[in-house]
Structures are given as C-alpha cells and as structure tokens.
A and B are shown apart, each in its own frame.
Chain A
Amino acid sequence: MQPSRRKFAALLATPLPLLAQTPPPEDLAALAKGQMQSTSDRLRQFKLDISVEPAFAFKP
C-alpha cells in the first residue's frame, strides 16, 4: 500500500535518530496499556478509609 503524501512528507521530515528509537504502533499500544495497568496496581495498593470523598464537590 502506498503511503499518503502527508505521511510520506512526515517521514522525510523525521530525523533518523527518532525513527530508530520509535517502536511500532502495536508495541506502543501495548506499552500504554501496560503503563495504565501498573498505575492501577499501584493505586489499588493504597488503602483508603471508606469515608474519604473525592477532591471535587458537586455544587447545585
């Protein structure tokens, strides 16, 4: 499949060291999900008293 002109121009404009350091999109998606999961795990380790309310309040 031919890349679009915009994608081709972007590719040309990207410095080579950056291209070499960029993982493929599927790896980046897995990385993002993995980071979210580890953040969730850290949050869940933090024990909260049931009475603690969130740091925003609804104002009628």
Chain B
Amino acid sequence: MTDDLFFAPLTDLNARLKRKEFTCQELTRAFVERLERLGPRYNALALLLKEAAIDKAKDVDKELKRERYRGVLQGIPFGAKDLLSAKGQPTAWGARPYAGQVFDHDATVIKKLAGTGAVLTSKLAMVQLAGGGGYRFPAASMSGPGLNPWSRAHWSGGSSSGSGAAVAAGLVPFALGSETSGSILTPAAYCGVTGLRPTYGLVSRHGAMALSWTLDKIGVLGRSADDCGWVLQAIAGGDAKDPGSAGKSFYYAPQFARPLNEVTVAYAPVDFDAAADPSAKAAFQTAVEAFKSLGVKLVEARIPDFPYGAVIGPVIGAESASIFEELIRSGRVDQLDDKKQVAGLKAALDWPATDYLKAMRIRSLIREAFGEFFAQYDAILTTARPGPASRVSEALDRPSGRPAPADRGFSGIIPAGNLAGLPALSLPCGFAGELPVALQLVARPFNENLILAMGKAFQERTDWHRRRPKIS
C-alpha cells in the first residue's frame, strides 16, 4: 500500500474494497498502524481502538465477500472526537477530571456510522471540555497541545484538534468533530482539511458531551467537500434522544443543487484584505478569483449588525456552568490544564439569568435577520479564519496587533452562524508561508447541499485540498 492510499477519497477507497484490491482488515491495519506511529507526534490521539477496529473490519470483509454492499462508507476507517461516547471505552472529553470515564452506550452518530460499515479506529484528542470557560493556551488538553501536521511549532486549532490533525496527516480518511462556536471550522482551516458544520439539529448529539444545549453541533472533518457530504448523509437524521433534533434527514445530492450561475453569493472584499492577516491576503485574493470563475454571482454585502460576541458569551457561559456545576463546585475543576479556563468556568456560575435571557431574546432577532438576509442571498463567502494557525506557545487571547477595520464585512460570522444555527463549510484555499488558510461558505438552515456543491466545484478547479504535509 502506498502513501496515496492514506489521502484517497472515500469513494475511491470504497470502490477498491469492492474490487478486492485489498481487504477491509488490511486497510484498517494500515490506518491503525499509521495512527499508532504518527498520532502521538501531533498529540492527535486520545485512544486507539485497535482490537475493536480489526474485529469490525473482519465483519465488513464477510459482508463484502457476500457482495452485501451498504454504501460509500462501508469499510472506511474513521476517528471520533473524544467528546463522543463509544460503548465500554474511555471517553474523557479531553479533561483530566473525566479520565477513565466509561459510558454503556454508543453516541447516535457512532451507532449510525457502524450501521454503514464504517470502522471506528480511534478517539481523537480535543481541547478539554471543548473549551468551555475560555482557554488561554493550546495546551488546554490532557493530550497536550494539538500540533499542526504542516508545522509542529503551530497549533492544529480547537477544539476538534485531533480530528483536524489526524485527517491532515492521513491518519484517518475522515473524523467526527463538534462545534459550539468555531470548533470544526478552526481546526479544519488551520490543518488544511475540509470541515462541515451542519445546521443545528440536523445531526443527533445523543452521547456527546454537552457544552451548550442550544449551540452544540456534531460535524465532519474530511479530505474534500464530497467526502463530508457522504459522511453527513450517514450521520444526519431525527433522534428522539436529542431534544434539539430537527427530525430531518439529509441526502447528499450536489448534482441537484441549483446551477451555480443562478446562485447569488454575498461577500465583503474587506474580509480578504484589511481584515485578513497580511501573510494570508495574497492567498485569499487568488482564492476569491478562483471562486468567481465558478460562475456564481458575487454581490457585496455586510453581516447583519448585532453584538454577536456579547450574545454568545452568556449563552455558552450560563449553559456550560449549569452543565458542569458539579465539577466546578466540587473543586475538581482545578484539575484542568488551563488556569484561565478554570477561572472562566468558576466565574460563569454567576451569569445573571437576565443576561442569559437577554442574549436569547437578541438571538431571536439574529435568526430573523438572517432569514431576511438569505431571502436576498443564497450563501456567504468569507474567510474561515483571518489567518493561519498561531504558534503553540502563544496565548490565544493576545491582541492581533492589527486595528479592526472600520468596515465590519463579515467579521463575527463564526458566533453569528452558530447563534443562528447555520451550516458552514471550510475549504482549504492556499497557504500563508508553510501554513494552510481557508475560505468559509455559509448558507441558510438545511441548505448543506448548496454549500457542498459549491465546495465540490471549487475543489474540482483547485488542488489545495489535495496538498499534503511532509510527514517523516
């Protein structure tokens, strides 16, 4: 097996399994050995599930032998952020106070993927408690700081740190992550992989650690928009065990999305210029030109005007303080690896109910405003992050050193998109030095097929998503 295999599209891997070029056991062993060897190099691995994966692969091989085909994900190894429970296996949520925690059930998404014949090889490292309380350093994880496969001196992003790094380094063909406000888009952008944050409620969160009941989403980090689409089809769907479930399914059908020459995309030039890190501007501007060539109509617009940061703060703060109240009041919170996060969680117990409710009332207006916005535009094109990954040793709350431009553009789209429950896709679009940078597409709720179709078309014209870090 060559290195190309570790970076192959899901449809290709599945077709080769069906053609019996290799067995699922061989494929799984190859990925598991690579994960075991390289995962610790990036602090990407929380738990290797070698024996369980090989057992599952044997079952898949029996099915393939009988030509019982289950779809694109049959026989494909994958990893899951350690925030998702896998029956009988430790699920630590990246946090020392929960080390050794074991659940007696699989998360719904793990169960759904098992049903398609996908093979769970690993639990992947994450920022402790998905960053609840607000962390200062990338080292806020019991696995250590997530290291970027493009440069180990840089962060892999958070909180789905291991999911981003593992896909980028070819340790898994795809990984599950989660996002409350930026935790899929950030590692996807920093690691140069494709990240899909689904609409709130489209994917069940049963069996996932809760950080914020009204914001949490489970999504995908993969090698391409196409791969993310196939995985979303498998994990989406109603679930009575998730009170936030929208009760909707998703069928990946980018071919039936509106023709791109009929699509109107809102964008703000400032996002790719004054609001961008100077090292990334050239890559962003080239990428916007490539995007224009898809034939979409790009129209200048601005994000609806709301204090997004001030709204999302008390929502995450009050909900997470309630979820982790016992951890905080017992003092076990002091075992966490980031002292700012500890202080943030303790302080969050004191969010006034009036602030939480005011934030949730403003959130109603935000949802309405985006409803009106998407009556005019089909999607938003902006940056996934304004620049490349920061250095592992740098504090994440340090000032950028750049003055905020007077033109707001789509600044604040990550908290805004999460508050409004909108789907978003992070697409690798070039490099700032040795580090990847990415575009972001956002659409109205449940319009994943449109952003996936645009992402697929962009990736048919560019090769950024096929670039690989040098791995020694």
Interface size of B by CB at 8 A reads 38
In the complex, whether A2 has a CB less than 8 A from a CB of chain B is no
The complex places the Cα of A15 from the Cα of B144 at a distance, in Å, of: 11
Complex CA gap A32/B134 in Å reads: 9
Q: B363 to chain A: which residues have CB within 8 Å?
A: 54-55
With a CB–CB cut-off of 8 A, which chain B residues contact A35? 313
Smallest CB gap from B363: residue in A: A55
Are the CB atoms of B310 and A36 closer together than 8 Å? no
A52 (CB) vs chain B CBs: closest residue: B361
CB distance from A55 to the nearest CB of B (A): 4
Q: Are B307 and A54 in contact (CB under 8 A)?
A: no
Verify if B357 is at the interface (C-beta below 8 Å from A). yes
Q: How far is the CA of A26 from the CA of B344 in the complex (A)?
A: 12
Instruction: Give the shortest distance, in Å, between B246 (CB) and chain A (any CB).
Output: 13
Minimum C-beta distance from B282 to chain A (A): 30
Q: In the complex, which residues 208-254 of chain B have their Cβ closer than 8 Å to any Cβ of chain A?
A: 214
- Residue A10 lies at the interface, judged by CB distance under 8 Å to chain B: yes
Among residues 132 to 184 in chain B, which have CB atoms less than 8 Å away from a CB atom of chain A? Answer: 134, 136-137, 139
B343 touches A53 (CB 8 A): no
When each residue 21-59 of chain A gets 1 if its CB lies under 8 Å from chain B and 0 otherwise, what string results? 110010011011101100110111010100011111000
Pair B365/A18 contact, Cβ less than 8 Å: no
Using A40-B352, A43-B311, A52-B365 as known contacts, say yes or no to A22 and B136 having CB atoms under 8 A apart: yes
Contact B343 A32 (CB under 8 A): yes
Q: Please name all residues of chain B whose beta carbon is closer than 8 Å to the beta carbon of A29 when the two chains form the complex.
A: 343, 346-347
Contacts of A28 in B (CB 8 A): 339-340, 342-343
Residue pair A48, B395 in contact (C-beta under 8 Å): no
A58 to B363, CA, bound (A): 16
Q: Are B307 and A22 in contact (CB under 8 A)?
A: no
Residue ID in chain B nearest A26 by CB atoms: B343
The CA of A18 and the CA of B337, in the complex, are separated in Å by 12
Pick the contact of A18 from B139, B355, B358 — CB < 8 Å? B139
B214 adjacent to A10 (CB under 8 Å): no
The verdict on A43 contacting B346 (CB below 8 Å), with A55-B214, A56-B214 known, is no
Q: Of B139, B214, B310, B351, which one neighbours A42 at CB under 8 angstroms?
A: B310
- How far in angstroms is the closest Cβ of chain A from B42? 16
Nearest-Cβ distance from residue B98 to partner chain A, whole angstroms: 15
Contact status B310-A48, CB under 8 Å: no
Q: How far is the CA of A22 from the CA of B366 in the complex (A)?
A: 36
CB contacts (< 8 Å) of A55 on chain B: these are 214, 360-361, 363-364, 366-367
Query: Please, which residue of chain B has its CB at the minimum distance from the CB of A25?
Result: B339
Q: How far is the CA of A14 from the CA of B363 in the complex (A)?
A: 39
Return chain A residues, CB-CB under 8 Å to B355.
Answer: 39-40, 43
The CA of A48 and the CA of B359, in the complex, are separated in Å by: 10
Contacts of B344 in A (CB 8 A): 32
A3: Cβ under 8 A from any B Cβ: no
**When chains A and B are docked, how far (Å) is the Cα of A46 from the Cα of B346?**
26
**A residues near B283, Cβ cutoff 8 Å:** none
| Residues of chain A at the chain B interface (Cβ within 8 Å) | 10, 14-15, 17-18, 21-22, 25, 28-29, 31-33, 35-36, 39-40, 42-44, 46, 48, 52-56
The 6 closest A-B pairs by CB, nearest first: A54-B360, A32-B347, A55-B363, A28-B343, A42-B310, A32-B343
Query: B-side interface residues toward A, CB under 8 Å?
Result: 134, 136-137, 139, 214, 307, 309-311, 313-314, 317, 337, 339-340, 342-344, 346-348, 350-352, 355, 357-367, 393, 395
Excluding A36-B350, A55-B364, 4 further A-B contacts by CB distance (< 8 Å) are A18-B393, A39-B314, A48-B358, A54-B363
In the assembled complex, 18 residue pairs joining A and B whose CB atoms fall closer than 8 Å, in A order, are: A15-B139, A25-B343, A28-B343, A31-B343, A32-B343, A32-B346, A35-B313, A36-B347, A36-B350, A36-B351, A40-B352, A42-B307, A43-B310, A43-B355, A44-B358, A48-B358, A48-B362, A55-B363
